[in-house]
Structure 1
Amino acid sequence: MKNIISICLTVALCAFSVQAKPLKENTMLYLNMNSKAVLGNIQLNNITSFTITQTVQELSSTAKLVVPKAYGKIGQKPILDLLKVGDPVKIDLGYNGVYNQEFEGFISEIEADAPLVINCDDKMWPYKQNNWVKNYPSATLKQVLQEIFSGLNIDCPQVNLGKFEIDNASSYKVIQDLQSDHGLYSRINGNTLKVGLAYDFADLSKVHTYDIRKDVKENDLKYKRKEDMQVRFKAVANLPNGKKKTVTVGSKMPNASEKTLNFAGNFTEAELKEKANAVLAKAVFDGYTGSVTGFGTPVTRCGDCLKFIDEVNPEREGTYMIETVEISYDDNGFARKNTLSYKVY
């Protein structure tokens, strides 16, 4: 990147060295944490702390970074004079001089304080800033998304929206409403906007492995049997004529957790029930629920899959989709908290 000002702190506050828990029996690894953040034309090394949150349930990922007091000025200019909302951001983290890109997006808010706190949104940020007024006599989901998210490849199901209007709304607000009305989740992965049900986001090509007794810092996992999972789904079909059709599948127990699934299309009751049962089959399983916290590597992301190895209870081994990843990087270490969704296999 042109004109990047690179600054390396030598103060002890920002030179982290973390002792990891043993990843293999009788072996203790000492890993030096390293970070690199590029904000606009400034590169900052060894920031005090980062937190990054990625989740399939939300449209965008966020990051918060804390800049230590030592970065009060760059040359003769205060750092605040060199940063502005909308500047591009890249955050790389790693160990022993090896970096992985953890976040790419834009500055969304600058908190003028000491230490300086900078909030960032991912690539969805520019699509929160625009404004659309459109009237479609008849439209498909892909047709609308291709127009309001121009520049991105669109990966979405075939959905007929019928008559569709956008009245002074950003691209982000439009897709937020579509998610609410049709039960569709959306994320920007690279240069592709992927839209679908939450269960469509599992990337089977990216499977990470945790030995549950060696590679895990902490967990709140609970192993549950299929018969103990009291879950039901209310499936709602949003018909082209504006009416709705509803079926319910799953547990009939009064204390069951109930979730709503929205589908767009002229489905028969049998078709709607089939779709709801397909989701139910993924939501009810013998396996783990909850979250597990590992180290900075392997680099897990929401939508990836996490495979557990357990020598003590091999019957409990399995692979799960990761719904949410919360990344923390500070003087307590470098960690990734992975919240599980459904069992893939």
Structure 2
Amino acid sequence: MLRLSSEVEIQGSKTWIFHELASCSIIEDVATLTDTCELLLPKKVKWEGAEGFSLPIKRGDKIIVKLGYDDNLKTRFVGYIRTIDNKNPVKILCEDGMFLLKTTQTKKKGYKNTTLKQVITDLLEGTGIQVQLVDEDIELRHYRILKDTVAEELNEMKSTYGLRAYFRTVNDVSKLYVGLGYPFDDRRNESFIYGKNLISEDFVYRIAEDVKIKVKAISIDSKNKRFELEVGDKDGEVYTIFHDNLTPEGLRLFAESELKRFKTTGFKGSFETFGEPFVSKCDITRVEASDNNKGNFLNKKVETSSGMNGFRQKIEIGQPLKVE
């Protein structure tokens, strides 16, 4: 029988490492700026050198969480402590690298003609945070940094251009990704088969004609004039796309072609599996469901839990890559 293993490292005034957890819950999602981790420590935890009932850890301390079976540990979360509930047992709430960007002040600045790469470089200057652009450099043309913090500015980019910003942990390093789609680097490819390692499923199979999707398309031309239009179903799931320097007619053609790409036959939903094989958001998942439908999908959201109820992953599938 497999044995649950864990390692939590907290880097503050000193480095603390412990190998026991009452429970751990991690949520990562490409649709949100921030991934979170909630840790519940065992009731009997002794902090060497701590005085009285005060805890030697604090908000902002760096934290690394590794989980696995039989001491085969893999990094599942890298971030910072947001809050500590020092009741017994101690509960620690953490956020990924976006925690730092929520308090990093921006330098208000205007650009006459700029690119996404330049704006992100300026926003992250001095933070030491590694960044990866998902798409080829996107022209933003006239742009102004107006928000107070970097996280707020990234959220404004999402609202204005449909750009996603989120952290991924690759080779134990937390890196900020910014772009319109899913990244293509460092993606795991794992298979989950019903009756083997797919414990339960919550899928809905849909044919393309029944899929309701609304595409919101945005373009800014060389004179910094903004065009925005919508195609598809009014009550459909919204996909935001951006393409610079298109006429309104060209933007509509682009939006309609993307609508056809998004309207695919296949299933949508989530499933539960064991803690291994380990997957994260943006990885590729092959699913063989109970009704024999099969397909390859990009992971949109992964919820990982470890504790008294075992080691589990709940995976919400996103964009289909191949449907059989």
Q: Mark yes or no: TM-score above 0.5.
A: yes
Please tell me whether the aligned partners of residues 327 and 336 of structure 1 are also in contact (alpha carbons under 8 angstroms): yes
Alignment of 1:222 with 2:204, yes or no, is: yes
Give the alignment partner of residue 245 of structure 1, picking from 227, 232, 237: 227
Q: Distance in 2 between matches of 1:93 and 1:191?
A: 16
Deviations 1:68-119 (A, max 9, x none): 2201543554574310111111101001121111011111111222211111
Where in structure 1 are there 5+ consecutive unaligned residues? 1-29
Alignment counterpart, residue 146 of structure 1, candidates 121, 136, 148: 121
Determine the C-alpha separation between the residues in 2 that align with 1:131 and 1:210: 43
Q: Does 1:194 align with 2:177?
A: yes
Equivalence for 1:308:
287
Q: Give, in whole Å, the separation in 2 of the partners of 1:336 and 1:162.
A: 42
Query: 1:137 deviation in Å?
Result: 3.5
Letter in 2 for 1:106: Y
> Would you say the 8 A contact 1:182–1:264 is kept in 2?
no
Find out whether 1:34 has 2:5 as its counterpart.
yes
Give the alignment partner of residue 207 of structure 1, picking from 170, 189, 193. Answer: 189
Alignment of 1:71-86 (within 5 A): 71=45, 73-74=47-48, 77=51, 80-86=54-60
One of 243, 263, 269 as aligned partner of 2:248? 269
> 1:167, 1:245 → 2: CA distance?
21
Q: Percent identity?
A: 25
Is 1:235 matched up with 2:217? yes
Question: 1:294 corresponds to which residue?
Answer: 273
8 Å contact kept, 2:215–2:241: no
Distance change in 2, residues 1:213/1:203 (3 Å): farther
The equivalent residue for 1:66 is 40
Q: 1:60 to 1:282 in 2, by over 3 A?
A: farther
**Higher Rg:** 1
Q: Distance in 2 between matches of 1:282 and 1:79?
A: 58
> Post-superposition shift, 1:286?
1.6
Within a 5 Å distance, the mapping from 1:165-204 to structure 2 comes to 165-167=144-146, 169-189=148-168, 190=173, 192-197=175-180, 199-201=181-183
Matched, 1:343 2:320: yes
3-state DSSP of counterpart to 2:44: helix
> How far does the alpha carbon of each residue in 1:116-162 deviate from its partner, in whole angstroms, 9 at most, with x for none?
11111112222222212322232322111112213324415433334
Distance 2:32 2:50 in 1: 40
How far residue 279 of structure 1 moved from its aligned partner, in angstroms, is: 3.4
- Which residue matches 1:128? 102
Residue 324 (structure 1) aligns with: 301
Task: Deviation per CA, 1:27-62: give whole Å up to 9, x if none.
Answer: xxx211111111121112121001101111112211
Residues 147 and 236 of structure 1, relative CA distance in 2, 3 Å threshold: closer
For 2:159, the aligned partner's letter is S
- TM superposition shift of 1:242: 6.0
User: Residue type of the partner of 1:235?
Assistant: A
CA gap of 1:262–1:65, structure 2 versus 1, over 3 A, is: same
Structure 2, unmatched stretches of 5+, are: none
In 2: Cα distance, 1:203 partner to 1:223 partner: 29
Q: Which residue of 2 aligns with 1:115?
A: 89
* Contact 1:202/1:305 (<8 A) preserved: no
Question: Which amino acid in structure 1 is aligned with residue 58 of structure 2?
Answer: K
SS in 2 for 1:169: coil
Deviation of 1:174 after TM superposition, in Å, equals 1.2
Alpha-carbon contact 1:291-1:340 (below 8 Å) kept: yes
Distance 2:250 2:271 in 1: 36
Q: Is the 8 A contact 2:55 2:86 kept in 1?
A: no
Against the structure 1 CA distance between its residues 120 and 237, is the aligned structure 2 distance closer, same or farther, given a 3 Å change threshold?
same
Q: Aligned to 2:117, what secondary structure does the other structure show?
A: helix
TM-score using structure 2 length:
0.86
Q: Given the superposition, is the C-alpha separation of residues 217 and 202 from structure 1 closer, same or farther in structure 2, using an over 3 Å criterion?
A: farther
The separation in 2 between residues aligned to 1:192 and 1:73, in whole angstroms, is 31
Pick from 46, 52, 69: which aligns with 2:26? 52
Code of the residue aligned with 1:337 in structure 2: it is: K
* Structure 2 counterpart of 1:43: 17
**Considering only aligned residues, what root-mean-square deviation do their CA atoms show, in Å?**
2.4
Deviations 1:205-260 (A, max 9, x none): 42110012321121111222112212232323345656542333334xx6x41525
Q: For residue 15 of structure 1, what is the aligned residue in structure 2?
A: none
Larger mean Cα displacement after TM superposition, 233-242 or 106-115 = 233-242
Give the Cα separation in 1 of the matches to 2:206 and 2:111: 49
TM-score (norm 1): 0.81
Q: Cα 1:81–1:230, aligned 2, differ >3 Å: closer, same or farther? A: closer
Letter in 2 for 1:144: V
Cα separation, partners in 2 of 1:207 and 1:281, compared to 1, 3 Å: farther
